[in-house]
Amino acid sequence: MTEQEIQEKGYAYPEALVSTEWVQQKLDDTQNIRIVESDEDVLLYDIGHVPNAVKVDWVEDLNDPLTRDYLDPEHFANLMSEKGITPDTTVVFYGDKNNWWATYALWVFRLFGHDNVKVMDGGRVKWEAEGREMTQEVPSFERSDYPVPTRDDEKIRAFRQDVEKHLEAQGPLVDVRSPGEYSGELLHMPDYPQEGALRGGHIPGAANVPWARAVREDATFKSADELREIYEGEASLNAGDDVIAYCRIGERSSHTWFVLTYLLGYDQVRNYDGSWTEWGNLVRAPIER
């Protein structure tokens, strides 16, 4: 796949995606570009990664170790300095699981106003499938100067109270978990240790669009027309909508946030990172099955 093929997929912001070939050509441009691998399988980077890529671990690097929240601006600035990233650096994310964690890391970067971000279409699986070089060598970059940013939790992040208001206003919600989680049936499986939620089901009125429906078998994103058919044709969303997406802890829904925001050009999409582990435990929170 080339940049022209990405252009032909008709996205609102095609520049948010780059091809594996583009990354291949830019591997040595470490002055301007930083390639970031972010995976669910935390050992994959050690097994082999794209040359000159650095690793960002969503648990150890992006989460606050105590409070359920993301890292604070000071720690973000320090993380960027460690990775040799400046505010002007173009950060290209890729990872396993159809770029699930890559888009999650990207979303966190956006909270801190690092807007110069892209995703490598197809992620790790496509890079490997094409037989491109992988290395175990961990690059080291000179510490950069990254001023402490301001974290903006308003525009692309939703908290519980936002969801409650959204519910009152009958705003569109999209639940990107599997159909079993959405229906609540998983809680009824005997001896199945459920993680973190006392009640099963979904937030009333939420449409169910499992996140991975946005990608093709080769892990690249579907075209804009195909995505519109899913999100607008089936789930009845519209580009002008104020949308809140959620999943279990906000990671899968960051993938959908990326799709709606960058590929379909929605202006108002928020990721509810409290997601089902918060809502499914709330006393008297309305639930639908």
Residues in contact with 50: Cβ distance below 8 Å, sequence separation at least 6, in sequence order? 23, 27, 35, 37, 94, 127, 132, 133, 134, 135
Helices (H) and strands (E) counted in the chain, each on its own, are 11, 10
Task: Tally the residues of the chain.
Answer: 289
User: Alpha-carbon distance 210 to 193, whole Å?
Assistant: 22
Q: Which residue, 45 or 109, is less far from other proteins as judged by CB?
A: 45
Question: In terms of Cα–Cα distance, which of 216, 197, 4, 219 is closest to 123?
Answer: 219
Token pair for 24: 């291949």
Catalytic residue among 53, 119, 203, 247: 247
Quote the least distance from Cβ 38 to other proteins, whole Å: 13
> Cβ distance 245 to 30 under 8 Å?
no
Quote the least distance from Cβ 171 to other proteins, whole Å: 25
Q: Which residue, 100 or 146, is less far from other proteins as judged by CB?
A: 100
Q: Is 247 considered catalytic here?
A: yes
Q: Which residue, 181 or 241, is less far from other proteins as judged by CB?
A: 181
Quote the least distance from Cβ 200 to other proteins, whole Å: 13
Q: Which residue, 57 or 232, is less far from other proteins as judged by CB?
A: 57
Quote the least distance from Cβ 134 to other proteins, whole Å: 13
Q: Tell me which residues touch other proteins (CB under 8 A).
A: 40-44, 46-47, 57, 59-60, 136, 177-178, 181, 189, 191-195, 248, 252
Catalytic residues: 247
